[in-house]
Amino acid sequence: MNQHGHLLTPGTLWPALLARTAHAHDRKAILSIPTEPEVIEQSGVAFQVRVITALAMKALTTAAKSNNDPFLPYDQDLFVTDVSPTHVALLNKFNVVDHHLVIVTRSFEPQEALLTHEDCAALLACLAEIDGLGFYNAGPAAGASQRHKHLQLIPLSALPEARLPIQPLLRSVKMAGATGLVPGLPFLHAYAPMDQAWIDQQSDGASPLLDCYRSLLRSVGLSVEAPSIPYNLLVTRQWLLLVPRSQEFFEGISINALGFAGALLVKDAAQLATLRKQGPMTALQRVALPRPP
């Protein structure tokens, strides 16, 4: 372990991720899902909508029928690196964008469980190495597809224009104490700035990050003692956003944390047409909770 108590040595995650991606493709251990990108604009956001090709949809449906925990044991061909004593980094077997990382607890914890100091430390260790969007889908109704606790990280470099579509709305955040609101988001949520020092300190930054996460939970009326309702947490090097959820689907379209970053995935042309007609922001509003007046 290095001096921070982490197994993850600075400067090693990205090379390991590239090498393991090549290896996993070679071994056919990874199923990259081909999609057609579309842009739908609503409420000042150019939403990136990806349409899964028919062939990929068939393969996905077949794979989804297994109820086994894919992380216990995990596929060695997808193993990227040891992040910490409690977490490992794996490739996302079904990736839509390149270099999608899954940060998994070594022993089983339920996906609905509240994040811990160890989860925060593992996420910070990876964010320090990769400038990306970290996210947590807390429970099936928040779009989680696996029961075993895992955070995820997508490099910004893998996205169109290397930025999140939601970014323009964040320029007008209204802070009230430790947390704030984004005026352009028409549903219950809480925003907080990320402190660069937490990322630099990694292990030592985990405690203030955990406190910040708990402040976000409290500000939307959720318990910091035990899981209450599903939610999505989005974490970047600049900010955090937490959105409580009412349901997983909008008109049959599954929405997870990426939706609230402005990126959506649809199964076919019919779902794409539904999003075009109703609007992606409307879809997010429907799967979230009402914003108090």
Q: Express each pLDDT in 213-259 by its tens digit.
A: 999 999 999 999 998 899 999 999 999 999 999 999 999 999 999 99
Which CATH architecture fits 13-287? 2-Layer Sandwich (3.30)
Looking at the chain, the whole-number percentage of residues with pLDDT higher than 70 is 93
Quote the pLDDT of residue 247.
Answer: 97
pLDDT value at 288 more than 90: yes
Separation between Cα atoms, residue 168 and residue 164, nearest integer Å: 9
Q: Which amino acid is at 90?
A: L
Separation between Cα atoms, residue 218 and residue 231, nearest integer Å: 13
**Mean pLDDT throughout 129-158?**
96
Q: In what order do the strands lie in the sheet with 174-176?
A: 79-82, 87-91, 101-105, 150-155, 132-138, 231-235, 239-244, 190-193, 179-181, 174-176
Higher pLDDT, 96 or 56: 96
Higher pLDDT, 267 or 1: 267
CB environment 36-46: b (16+ within 10 A), e (fewer): eeeebebeebe
Quote the pLDDT of residue 19.
Answer: 97
What are the counts of helices (DSSP H) followed by strands (DSSP E) for the chain?
8, 15
Name residue 56's beta-bridge partners.
none
**Any idea what the Cα angle at residue 29 is, between residues 74 and 163, rounded to 5°?**
90
pLDDT value at 57 more than 70: no
Q: Which amino acid is at 106?
A: R
pLDDT value at 126 more than 50: yes
Tokens describing residue 249: 């689907």
What pTM was computed for the model? Answer: 0.95
Quote the pLDDT of residue 201.
Answer: 84
H-helix or E-strand spanning residue 188? none
Residue 62, C-beta contacts closer than 8 angstroms, at least 6 positions apart: none
Residue 116, C-beta contacts closer than 8 angstroms, at least 6 positions apart: 210
Separation between Cα atoms, residue 30 and residue 92, nearest integer Å: 8
Quote the pLDDT of residue 2.
Answer: 46
**48: confidence class by pLDDT, cuts 50, 70, 90:** very high
pLDDT value at 3 more than 50: no
148-197 per-position pLDDT tens digit: 999 999 999 999 888 999 999 999 999 999 999 999 999 999 999 999 99
Quote the pLDDT of residue 292.
Answer: 87
Name residue 176's beta-bridge partners.
179
Q: How confident is the prediction for the chain on average, in pLDDT?
A: 93
Sign of CA dihedral 235, 220, 140, 54: negative
Tokens describing residue 162: 């290397």
Quote the pLDDT of residue 80.
Answer: 97
Tokens describing residue 156: 């910004």
